Amino acid sequence: MNLKFNYILMVVMLALVPVQLSCQAIFDTLNLKEFEVIADHPESGNQSRTQSIDSIQMREFSQQDLGELLAALTPLYIKSYGRGTLSTVSFRGSGSTHTQVLWEGFQLNSPMLGQVDFSQVPMAFFTDVDLLFGGASLEKSGGALGGSVNLSSNFITGEIDKTIQLEQTVGSFNTYLTSLGIHLKRGKVSSFTKIIRQTSDNDFVYFNNSMLPSESMKQQNAGFENVGFLQKFSIQLKDNQQLYLMSWNQWSDRDLPPIMTNVFKLQEEYQTDMTSRTILGWKKSGKRVALQVKGAYFFENYHYYLKTISQDIDSKNLINSGFVKADVIVELGKGFLMTTGVELEHQSVNSLNYSGLKTRNRVLAMAVVEKTFFNRLALKLLLREEYSDDSFLPLLPYFGASYKPFEKEEIFIRFNVSQNYKRPTLNELYFYPVGNINLLPEKAFELEAGIDFKHDLWAGQSISIGITGYHSSISDWILWLPGDFEYWVPANIPEVVSQGLEASLNWQANVHNWKLGTSFQYAFTQSTDQSQNEVQLPYIPVHQGNGFISLGYQPYFVRWNVSYTGERATTLDTQKNFSNLLPGYWLNHITVGRTFQIRKLDLETRIKMYNVFDVDYQAVVYRAMPGRYADLTVKIKL
């Protein structure tokens, strides 16, 4: 294994050397203060569907976690077990392990579970959130059969606006969240520090209709605390060169509440996590070439404990991950762009749930060619290859086209086709006693077509509309199913077909002193097991949608978010009853705030009311969710 791995590594690195040498003279011909190695096209000109969260929406959710933002503003389905507990994301009817999450290009998914707990990803640490749907995710990562969430922390950009930013939130259930940002710059050296601390008793009152007699209860054993900091240093070596270092560190301690049918049984359950993620990078730009090289080291320590009358589980897990990435973008001519990249990855997991240390080594190579013809037709071809587990994985291709039929109208018709491939996670293979080393990898064939329209209206107004249809066929889908002795075991489903329709509408208006922004999303999703009479997969709603409206009249603003989640099956059983078919629900959240200017001090206060109509609902069966609650936030910049 080591000889093969070293051989592949040597070949890939040698392949990159000529590109770097041939570009040496070009880099010195143009001085640029900053550049981005990967520059996405505007959404309306893409060959695939993408979505970026705008700045107003980012500010609205700056004191919340990533799962809450995605649930409110995107067509993704968020499977939440409650405030402060596990939250996972599903793209287009896929599973949570089919969603890849990347921070600055490096994968956050656990090699054990294959997923990310979005409740542990605080929005305070990120400036950009971009979604790539379906095959578009291949440009960032393989194995994202549904799509990918891409996070960036671009806090250091240009001149300093405000040196210190302090944000304090006080809310229901004895909840407190403090975030502090400090931006310093001297000469060519910049520093940004972000610190957060969140605590909550999380002891809300809910109506427990899962027991007889039904009654109102207070949530027990549900408190949580999160502490973290992000540090970023940047050195401008030359006008066209930059060296940077960033480190994201976080500690989490949370009690896990019992399910609604188990509230009177003696139980102790909690989880403590410690994660440290550090990235060192260098980037350089030229007239026709941009190059970036970066490495990362991630350390994760997870401890889960459960004690009941009948069992005692004490699970400790250590994960070490190392990455090296290099990307080169070359402009071959007008409207002709080529991108090549390589990534080396090593992961090791030491878990009490495995028999010994488990490791994975991977080498990934990617090439993208993009060409625009007559400013009307844009084509993209992508190839991704991976060497892992002593063998080459199947070549993953992507081909997309975008056509602008009218010269003076911003209308784009797009189409793409791709293949994807995902290996089983370590838990699916080795978790004692249910791991299955005979599991087959998952393979996907994906089609997508859509149309985007953007138009500037009168009086500072603009509108954009997007409609997308997709079809995905995934063979050997891995699903955990009930097995013998009350264990759940992973097994391959021969074929799952996911298909549906997505629609989006955005309208912006700036009239006199009024600013209005609206966005609406709707998703129709059918994700069915073809071997079970096309039964909809568990926790995949057929209908889902949301809307966000922001209205501002300086210095006041109002923001309203409404979301709908349709009914969801909780099992593959076709019988319909309360335990295996959760009803749909609507949620409304409203924010009212005002900004102040006191000399050089910027001040903002806002009050946010969640679940305004006090809806009683369950996102996951037998998991309590809060009714109406509120928080107050004060933000200071100086």
Output the domain CATH number for residue 36. Answer: 2.40.170.20
b/e 571-594 (16+ beta carbons within 10 angstroms → b): bbeeeeeeebbbeebebbbbbebe
Tens-digit pLDDT profile for residues 303-355: 999 998 878 889 999 999 999 999 999 999 888 999 999 999 999 999 999 99
Kind plus residue range of the DSSP H or E element containing 499: strand 488-511
Cis peptide bond N-terminal to 405, omega within 30? no
Kind plus residue range of the DSSP H or E element containing 232: strand 224-238
How many angstroms separate the CA atoms of 479 and 476, rounded? Answer: 9
Tens-digit pLDDT profile for residues 354-395: 999 999 999 999 999 999 998 899 999 999 999 988 889 999
Q: What is the DSSP-derived secondary structure letter of residue 423?
A: P
pLDDT band of residue 23 (cuts 50, 70, 90) is very low
Q: What is the DSSP-derived secondary structure letter of residue 619?
A: S
**pLDDT over threshold 80, residue 22:** no
Tens-digit pLDDT profile for residues 155-172: 876 555 568 999 999 999
CA distances from 106 to 296, 322, 359, 575 (A): 8, 10, 18, 42
CB 384 within 8 A of CB 362: no
Q: What is the DSSP-derived secondary structure letter of residue 71?
A: H
Residues 6+ apart with CB under 8 A from 261: 210, 211, 622
First to last CA, the chain: 56
Tens-digit pLDDT profile for residues 613-626: 999 999 999 999 99
Tokens 């007239």 belong to 287
Tens-digit pLDDT profile for residues 97-143: 999 999 999 999 999 999 999 999 999 999 999 999 999 999 999 99
How many angstroms separate the CA atoms of 54 and 550, rounded? Answer: 12
Minimal CA–CA distance to 572: which of 438, 501, 477?
Answer: 477
Q: Give the range of the structural domain holding residue 444, as residue numbers without chain letter.
A: 2-637
Secondary structure (DSSP) of 558-595: EEEEEEEE--EESSS----STTTEEPPEEEEEEEEEEE
CB 514 within 8 A of CB 553: yes
Secondary structure (DSSP) of 84-123: TS-EEEESTT--GGGEEEEETTEE-S-TTTSS--GGGSBG
pTM of this prediction? 0.90
**What radius of gyration do the chain's Cα atoms show?**
25
pLDDT on residue 295: 97
CA distances from 565 to 147, 298, 320 (A): 20, 35, 37
Cross-sheet strand order for the sheet of 50-52:
50-52, 128-133, 147-152, 99-103, 106-107
Q: Which of 147-151, 152-156, 523-527 has the lowest mean pLDDT?
A: 152-156
The number of domains in the chain is 1
How many angstroms separate the CA atoms of 253 and 307, rounded? Answer: 17
CB 90 within 8 A of CB 77: yes
